[in-house]
Amino acid sequence: MVVMLALSVVLPGRLNGQAAVAVSAGVRYSSVLVRDSIVAPFDVRPTLAPTVAVTLGTPLERGWAAQVTLDFSTGELRRHEAGGSTVALGRVSTAAFSVGLNRRLPAGLSARIGIGGLKYIPSANSGIFRRGSGSIAGLGTLAVGHALTAGRRYGLSVEARYDVHGFATPALREEGFTSARPVHRVALVIRADARSAR
């Protein structure tokens, strides 16, 4: 299991009357995007990447809330050789959106589940992105959070997030990768929730 340290906290704002907004920031680990063998095995994957997200939600009703989340990460893409050496392949960012439900649980816990889409944004059209990044990939998300007693005044919580999507690009399909590779991402963030305005 990958252990990650949250990078920073941004305090939330408020929306009028019927909705609340939260902002979170932390760090994300992504699994391998491409694995192949030419002379020797290698894989391509992003480095640990900072991530920020904004969530817009309805007020809690009987412990449930509907939410929409916009999420952005950016980091370096690296090729890892079997011998342990690595080669930088440029920067790649991801932008994702999801819609889902948040459930308040006992003991300061909460859980969220959602579905949405994710788009890769490479810094240059080269390598596996030489023909662009392709279409938006379907995304499934799951998160578990715990309220921080010390940050109760600001609605602070620590949250572990997991999501999965399929990765494929036009260039990879040209090279014979006929199916999308499942990519698993795990993030640890600090989240600040605004209470619904009355």
Say what the pLDDT of residue 13 is: 39
4 falls within a domain: no
6 falls within a domain: no
Average pLDDT, the chain: 84
Residue 10 has pLDDT above 50, yes or no: no
Q: What is the pLDDT of residues 40-51, one digit of tens each?
A: 577 889 999 999
Q: Tell me the three-class secondary structure of the chain, residue by residue.
A: CCCCCCCCCCCCCECCCCCEEEEEEEEEEECCCEEEECCCEEEEEECCEEEEEEEEECCCECCEEEEEEEEEEEEEEEEEECCCCEEEEEEEEEEEEEEEEEEECCCCEEEEEEEEEEEEEECCCCHHHECECCCCEEEEEEEEEEECHHHHHHCEEEEEEEEEEEECCHHHHHCCCCCCEEEEEEEEEEEEECCCCC
Residue 3 has pLDDT above 70, yes or no: no
Residues 6+ apart with CB under 8 A from 45: 30, 31, 32, 33, 77, 78, 80
Residue 38 has pLDDT above 90, yes or no: no
Residue 35 has pLDDT above 60, yes or no: yes
**CA-to-CA separations, 155 to 102, 170, 177, 179, 180, in angstroms, rounded:** 15, 43, 45, 42, 39
Confidence bin at 196 (pLDDT 50/70/90): very low
Say what the pLDDT of residue 101 is: 95
Could you tell me which residue, 9 or 83, shows the higher pLDDT?
83
Domain of residue 61, residue span = 20-193
Confidence bin at 151 (pLDDT 50/70/90): low
Q: 163 near 185, Cβ under 8 Å?
A: yes
Q: What is the pLDDT of residues 132-143, one digit of tens each?
A: 999 999 999 999
1 falls within a domain: no
Structure tokens at 20: 């609340």
Distance, in Å, from the CA atom of 70 to the CA atom of 22, rounded to the nearest integer, reads 11
Say what the pLDDT of residue 12 is: 40
Residue 6 has pLDDT above 50, yes or no: no
Could you tell me the CATH number of the domain that includes residue 162? 2.40.160.20
Confidence bin at 18 (pLDDT 50/70/90): low
Structure tokens at 149: 């007693």
Distance, in Å, from the CA atom of 122 to the CA atom of 129, rounded to the nearest integer, reads 7
24 falls within a domain: yes
Q: Cβ of 37: how many Cβ atoms within 10 Å?
A: 9
26 falls within a domain: yes
Q: What is the pLDDT of residues 56-81, one digit of tens each?
A: 998 766 678 999 999 999 999 998 87
Measured over the CA atoms of residue 184, residue 27, residue 3 and residue 195, the dihedral's sign is: negative
Say what the pLDDT of residue 40 is: 59
68 falls within a domain: yes
Tell me the residue type at 18. Q
8 falls within a domain: no
Structure tokens at 124: 């240059």
7 falls within a domain: no
Q: What is the pLDDT of residues 90-139, one digit of tens each?
A: 999 999 999 999 998 888 899 999 999 999 999 988 888 999 999 999 99
The total number of structural domains in the chain stands at: 1
